[in-house]
Structure 1
Amino acid sequence: MPDYDLTRLGDRAFEQLVVSLALQELGPGVGVFGDGKDGGREATFDGTINWSATATSPAGSRDVWTGYTVLQAKYQVKPKPTPYDNAVWLQQQLKSEIAGWSKAAKSRSRSRLPRYLIFVTNIDLSAVAKVGGIDKVTAAVKKELEEAAGEGGGLDVQDFRIWHADQIRSMLDAHQAVRWAFPGLLTAGDVLAKLGHGAVSLGNLDVKDPLRQELLKSLTADRWIRLGQAGGSGDAKLWLDDIAIDLPAVVDGSHSGTVQAVKHVLEVGNTVLRPRQLDRYQKPHMVLVGGPGQGKSTLSQLIAQAYRTAMLSDANVAPGAQVILEGTREALERLDIAVPGNRRWPVRIDLAKYAEELGSGRDTSLLRWIAQHLSKRTTDTVYPSVLRDWLRVWPWALILDGLDEVPSQLSRRAVYEKVDELLTDAEDLNSDLLIVITTRPTGYDERFPEEQFRHLRLQRVPPEKAAAFAERIIDKRFPDDEDMRLKVIGRMADAARDPITVRLMETPLQVTIMSLIVEKYPNLPPDRFTLFDLYFRTVSDREIAKDIPDARFLSQNNSQIDKLHEQVGLRLQVDSETADGADAHMSHPVLHDLAAALMQARGFEEDDASARATAIVRAATQRLVLLVPRDTGVGFDIRTLQELMAARAIIEGDDSQVISRLRTIAHHPHWRNTWLLAVGALLKRSDRFERLILELLQNLDSEPRRLKDRYPTSPMLAAEILEDNLASGRPRFERGLVACLLTSLGRPPVNPRRIADGILCIPSAYRKTVFEQLGSAKTSGPVRRAASALVLDAMEGATFDQGRRTSIKITTLKLGLTELEKQTLHRWGHSSLGEGAEPIEVNSQIDLADYLKSAVEITGLDSEEAELLEYGIESLRGSKFQISGSDPGTAISSIVNHDSAEPLAKVLENETLATAVIMALNTIPGSHWTIEAIIGGLLKPIQDRIPVGHELLASMEESQDLL
Structure 2
Amino acid sequence: MPDYDLTRLGSRAFEQLVVALARRDIGPGVQVFGDGPDGGREATFEGTINWSRTSTGGANRVDCWSGYTVLQAKFRVKPAASPHDNALWLQEQIKNEVDGWIRAAREHTRSRLPDYLIFITNVDLSAVAKAGGIDKVNQVVRKRLTETSTTQSGLKVEDFAIWHGDQIRSMLDANQEVRYAFPALLTAGDVLAKLATDWVSLGTFNAQDPLREQLLHAIKDDRWIRLSQSGGPGEAKLWLDDIAIDLPATIDSPDGDLTVRAVQRVLELGDMVLRQRQPDRIKRSNVVLVGGPGQGKSTLSQLIAQAYRVALLTGANPAPSVQEVIDGTRAALTRLGLSVPGNRRWPARIDLAKYAEEMASGAEISLLRWISTRLSERIDRDISPNDLKGWLRAWPWALILDGLDEVPSVDARRLIYSKIDDLLTSAEDLDADLLIVVTTRPTGYDERFPADRFEHLQLQRLPPDKAAAFAQQITDKRFTDDDEMRIKVAARMRDAAHDSVTVRLMETPLQVTIMSFIVEKFPTLPPDRYTLFDMYYRTMFDREVAKDIPIARFLSQHRSQIDRLHEHVGLILQTASETADGAESTISPGDLHGIALQRLLDRGFTHADAGSHAAALVEAATHRLVLLGPRDNGVGFDIRTLQELMAARAIAEGDDSAVMARLRLIAHHPHWRNTWLLAVGELLLRSERFEKRILDLLKQLDSDLHRLNGRFPTAPVLAADILDDNLAAKRPRFERGLIERLLILLDRPPVVDVPRLATTLLRIASTNAYRRLIYDRISSAASAGAARRAASALMLEEMATEIPSYDARLTSMLNAYRTLATSDLEVQAIAAWQGMSTRSISADSSEADFRVLGHVTFSSDPTAETISLPAYVEKLVEPIGLSDGDLQALRTGLAILSDSRFHLSGPAPATAIPVVLRSGPAEPLVQALHNEDVAASLDLALSSLPSTHWAIEAMLGATFKPIQNRQPVGSVLLLAVAEDNAIDNSYLD
TM-score (norm 2): 0.94
Does structure 1 retain, via aligned residues, the 8 Å contact 2:50–2:63?
A: yes
Distance 1:214 1:842 in 2: 59
Deviates more, 1:780-789 or 1:159-168: 780-789
Which residue does the alignment assign to 2:843?
none
SS in 1 for 2:808: helix
Deviates more, 1:188-197 or 1:55-64: 55-64
Which residue does the alignment assign to 2:359?
358
Distance 2:414 2:148 in 1: 61
Deviation of the 1:59 alpha carbon: 4.9
Distance 1:962 1:493 in 2: 45
Deviates more, 1:91-100 or 1:832-841: 832-841
Which of these residues, 869, 886, 897, is aligned with residue 848 of structure 1?
Answer: 869
Which residue does the alignment assign to 1:370?
371
Distance 1:574 1:781 in 2: 42
Deviation of the 1:591 alpha carbon: 0.8
Query: Which residue identity is paired with 2:748?
Result: R
Distance 1:395 1:516 in 2: 41
1:395 aligns with 2:396: yes
Deviation of the 1:872 alpha carbon: 2.9
Which residue does the alignment assign to 2:441?
440
Which residue does the alignment assign to 2:512?
511
Does structure 2 retain, via aligned residues, the 8 Å contact 1:467–1:496?
A: yes
Query: Which residue identity is paired with 2:204?
Result: N
Deviation of the 1:184 alpha carbon: 0.3
Deviation of the 1:857 alpha carbon: 0.6
Which residue does the alignment assign to 1:259?
260
Deviation of the 1:790 alpha carbon: 2.1
Which residue does the alignment assign to 2:957?
936
SS in 2 for 1:431: coil
SS in 1 for 2:665: helix
SS in 2 for 1:79: coil
Deviation of the 1:862 alpha carbon: 2.3
Deviates more, 1:894-903 or 1:460-469: 894-903
SS in 1 for 2:157: coil
Which residue does the alignment assign to 1:833?
850
Which residue does the alignment assign to 1:756?
758
Query: Which residue identity is paired with 1:795?
Result: M
Deviates more, 1:506-515 or 1:813-822: 813-822
1:904 aligns with 2:921: no
Task: Give ranges in structure 1 of 5+ residues lacking alignment.
Answer: none
Deviation of the 1:153 alpha carbon: 2.3
SS in 2 for 1:474: helix
Distance 1:440 1:707 in 2: 27
Deviation of the 1:433 alpha carbon: 1.5
Distance 1:936 1:734 in 2: 28
Query: Which residue identity is paired with 1:803?
Result: A
**Residues 1:810 and 1:372: Cα distance change in structure 2 (over 3 Å):** farther
**Residues 727-806 of structure 1 mapped to structure 2, 5 A cutoff:** 727-751=728-752, 752-762=754-764, 764=767, 765-800=769-804, 802-806=807-811
Does structure 2 retain, via aligned residues, the 8 Å contact 1:72–1:118?
A: yes
Does structure 2 retain, via aligned residues, the 8 Å contact 1:198–1:386?
A: no
Which residue does the alignment assign to 1:47?
47
Deviates more, 1:400-409 or 1:48-57: 48-57
Which residue does the alignment assign to 1:320?
321
**Residues 915-926 of structure 1 mapped to structure 2, 5 A cutoff:** 915-926=936-947
Deviation of the 1:207 alpha carbon: 2.3
SS in 2 for 1:580: helix
Query: Which residue identity is paired with 1:642?
Result: Q
Indicate the percent of aligned positions where both proteins have the same amino acid.
60
Deviation of the 1:304 alpha carbon: 1.0
Deviation of the 1:781 alpha carbon: 1.6
Deviates more, 1:689-698 or 1:419-428: 419-428
Which residue does the alignment assign to 1:489?
490
Q: Structure 1, residues 316-347: CA drift from partner, whole Å, max 9, x if none? A: 32111111111111111111111111111111
Does structure 2 retain, via aligned residues, the 8 Å contact 1:785–1:815?
A: yes
Which residue does the alignment assign to 1:865?
886
Distance 1:213 1:454 in 2: 32
Q: Structure 1, residues 425-484: CA drift from partner, whole Å, max 9, x if none? A: 222222221111111111111421221112111101111111111111111111111111
The number of aligned residues is 963
1:875 aligns with 2:877: no
**Residues 1:552 and 1:496: Cα distance change in structure 2 (over 3 Å):** same
Does structure 2 retain, via aligned residues, the 8 Å contact 1:255–1:796?
A: no
Query: Which residue identity is paired with 1:759?
Result: L
Deviates more, 1:179-188 or 1:58-67: 58-67
**Residues 1:191 and 1:150: Cα distance change in structure 2 (over 3 Å):** closer
Which residue does the alignment assign to 1:891?
912
**Residues 21-36 of structure 1 mapped to structure 2, 5 A cutoff:** 21-36=21-36
Deviation of the 1:131 alpha carbon: 2.2
Query: Which residue identity is paired with 2:102?
Result: S
Which residue does the alignment assign to 2:840?
none
Query: Which residue identity is paired with 2:763?
Result: C
**Residues 1:932 and 1:486: Cα distance change in structure 2 (over 3 Å):** same
Query: Which residue identity is paired with 2:535?
Result: L
**Residues 1:148 and 1:122: Cα distance change in structure 2 (over 3 Å):** farther
SS in 1 for 2:278: coil
Distance 1:75 1:889 in 2: 55
Does structure 2 retain, via aligned residues, the 8 Å contact 1:52–1:62?
A: no
Which residue does the alignment assign to 2:184?
184
Which residue does the alignment assign to 2:94?
94
Does structure 1 retain, via aligned residues, the 8 Å contact 2:7–2:122?
A: yes
**Residues 1:427 and 1:724: Cα distance change in structure 2 (over 3 Å):** same
Which residue does the alignment assign to 1:294?
295
TM-score (norm 1): 0.97
Deviation of the 1:581 alpha carbon: 0.2
Does structure 2 retain, via aligned residues, the 8 Å contact 1:102–1:148?
A: no
SS in 1 for 2:743: helix
Deviates more, 1:854-863 or 1:205-214: 205-214
Query: Which residue identity is paired with 1:946?
Result: Q
SS in 2 for 1:635: strand
Which residue does the alignment assign to 1:13?
13
Distance 1:325 1:610 in 2: 48
SS in 2 for 1:749: coil
Deviates more, 1:325-334 or 1:1-10: 325-334
Which residue does the alignment assign to 2:521?
520
Distance 1:816 1:590 in 2: 63
**Residues 680-699 of structure 1 mapped to structure 2, 5 A cutoff:** 680-699=681-700
Distance 2:936 2:97 in 1: 68
1:470 aligns with 2:471: yes
Deviation of the 1:729 alpha carbon: 1.6
Deviates more, 1:866-875 or 1:331-340: 866-875
Does structure 1 retain, via aligned residues, the 8 Å contact 2:294–2:641?
A: yes
Which residue does the alignment assign to 1:808?
813
**Residues 1:928 and 1:320: Cα distance change in structure 2 (over 3 Å):** same
Query: Which residue identity is paired with 2:164?
Result: H
Deviates more, 1:606-615 or 1:50-59: 50-59
Deviation of the 1:77 alpha carbon: 0.8
Does structure 2 retain, via aligned residues, the 8 Å contact 1:246–1:260?
A: yes
Distance 1:822 1:304 in 2: 44
SS in 1 for 2:229: coil
**Residues 1:466 and 1:193: Cα distance change in structure 2 (over 3 Å):** same
Deviation of the 1:518 alpha carbon: 0.8
**Residues 1:67 and 1:836: Cα distance change in structure 2 (over 3 Å):** farther
Does structure 2 retain, via aligned residues, the 8 Å contact 1:287–1:436?
A: yes
Which residue does the alignment assign to 2:844?
none
SS in 2 for 1:73: strand
Which residue does the alignment assign to 1:648?
649
SS in 2 for 1:875: helix
Does structure 1 retain, via aligned residues, the 8 Å contact 2:349–2:402?
A: yes
**Residues 207-606 of structure 1 mapped to structure 2, 5 A cutoff:** 207-252=207-252, 255=256, 257-606=258-607
SS in 1 for 2:293: coil
SS in 2 for 1:708: coil
Query: Which residue identity is paired with 2:901?
Result: K
**Residues 1:685 and 1:204: Cα distance change in structure 2 (over 3 Å):** same
SS in 2 for 1:258: strand
SS in 2 for 1:263: helix
Which residue does the alignment assign to 2:838?
none
Q: Structure 1, residues 386-444: CA drift from partner, whole Å, max 9, x if none? A: 22222222221111111111111111111122222222222222222111111111111
Deviation of the 1:276 alpha carbon: 1.6
**Residues 1:60 and 1:164: Cα distance change in structure 2 (over 3 Å):** closer
For the aligned residue pairs, the C-alpha RMSD in angstroms reads 1.9
